[in-house]
Amino acid sequence: MLVEHMTWEQYRDEVARRIIILPVGSLEQHGPHLPLSVDVVIPTSLAKMVCEELEAMVLPPIAYGYKAQGGGQLFPGTTSLDGTTLINLTLDILRETYRHGGRRFLVLNGHYENVAFVTEAVQLLLRDADGARVVILSWWDQVSDEMVDELFAEAGFPGWETEHAAVTETSLMQYFAPDLVREDRIIDDQSERMPKYSIFPPPDDIVPESGVLYKATYASREKGEKLAKHVVGAIVQMAREELGSGS
């Protein structure tokens, strides 16, 4: 149920009755072992799994995101949008889909810094989109405490801010897109310091040279599969409750 593969007639017949999922990610450094597209691949892959359990369809993802915080912008390849661009891009896509008859939307986020801007887009959409209902969620917020304990039993949980290019993202990529993971380049790393404030321009020592913020060597495909199924289960339950999918 990928919109980019549908004909216009299929789309016309499905758009009003399905939940419309819009994955939103980034083009951002994820260490020496993962591709720049991690934050797109993860929510898009989760969205495809959701479609196996719910009447839903997946829009082409927004493959760029808001500027990476904590030094991410220092890396070649991290290619980010201004906040107004992300707001307008998200709003245009939602508004057009609404115009075609879409009413129930799930914005599935894979990049932490996007949240405020996609929220603003939804707020602007709802000014004149009668009957629209939208859920915005980030996949890591759907992970239960019990699952965190299980996944981080050996490594210890550092908090989601530092779980970048580390246990969960590497595990999910090993499950969803193993060909894109450089297995021989997986490492553990961490920042020299993690200030509780933002510094502009960011100094070099708040992000390690590798771009990995925690212990990626504790990742595994098995953890990725377990985590993906767990998150999809939570999303499906949420969608049934909040977006009224009967199936």
Report the interface residues with Zn ion, using CB under 5 A: 38-39
Whether 130 is catalytic is no
Catalytic residue among 30, 33, 163, 189: 30
Reduced to 3 states, what is the DSSP secondary structure of residue 62?
strand
Active site residue 96: no
Please, are residues 22 and 93 in contact by the beta-carbon 8 Å criterion?
yes
Pairing relationship of beta strands 133-138 and 104-109 according to DSSP bridges: parallel
Q: Which residue is nearest to Zn ion (CB)?
A: 39
Nearest to Zn ion of 29, 90 (CB atom): 29
The smaller minimum CB distance to Zn ion, of residues 38 and 137, is found at 38
Provide the 3-class DSSP secondary structure of residue 137: strand
Active site residue 100: no
**d(C-alpha 205, C-alpha 138), whole Å:** 28
Q: Is 188 a catalytic residue?
A: no
User: How many CB atoms sit inside 10 A of residue 84's CB?
Assistant: 10
Q: Is 113 a catalytic residue?
A: yes
Residue 150: other Cβ atoms inside 10 A: 13
Cβ-based nearer residue to Zn ion, 65 or 102: 65
Q: How far is CA 243 from CA 8, 18, 68, 130, 131, in A?
A: 24, 10, 30, 15, 12
Q: Which three-class secondary structure state does DSSP give residue 21?
A: strand
Nearer to Zn ion, 104 or 215 (CB): 215
Which of 14, 163, 169, 189 is the catalytic position? 169
Amino acid identity, position 216: A
**Collapsing DSSP states into helix, strand and coil, what is residue 188?**
strand
Q: Is 111 a catalytic residue?
A: yes
Residue 183 annotated to the active site: no
Q: How near is the Cβ of 218 to Zn ion at its closest, in Å?
A: 16
* Smallest gap from residue 59 Cβ to Zn ion (A): 20
Query: Which residues are catalytically annotated?
Result: 28, 30, 39, 111, 113, 164, 169
